[in-house]
Amino acid sequence: MSMYIDTYCKDVYSDDRLEYTVKKLTALSIKIQDAEWDGEDVTAMRQQLHTLKQQHGDGVEFTPRF
């Protein structure tokens, strides 16, 4: 028996609690384009996209899903 607690995942890429920032950016960009095409208000989505772009620029690779 080990004195260490086993980790939830072997690495961050297999952790289902985290989402890859670039993947989230891409999905949100497509969602914004679709909403604009339908004539919906995308102000809140644009703010979220701006925040994600800043995080990505700061080197944040993963964002939590919770």
Please give the tally of structural domains in the chain. Answer: 1
Asked if the structure places residue 29 within a domain, the reply is yes
Confidence of residue 2 (pLDDT cuts 50, 70, 90): low
Confidence of residue 38 (pLDDT cuts 50, 70, 90): very high
Nearest partner of 30 among 16, 18, 42, judged by Cα:
42
More confident residue, 41 or 8: 41
Asked if the structure places residue 2 within a domain, the reply is no
pLDDT for position 7: 76
Question: If 0-12 CB within 10 Å is exposed, 13-18 middle and 19+ buried, where does residue 50 land?
Answer: exposed
Residues 38, 59: Cα–Cα separation, whole Å: 33
Domain that holds residue 56: 17-64
Asked if the structure places residue 5 within a domain, the reply is no
Asked if the structure places residue 45 within a domain, the reply is yes
Asked if the structure places residue 4 within a domain, the reply is no
Share of the chain above pLDDT 90, in %: 67
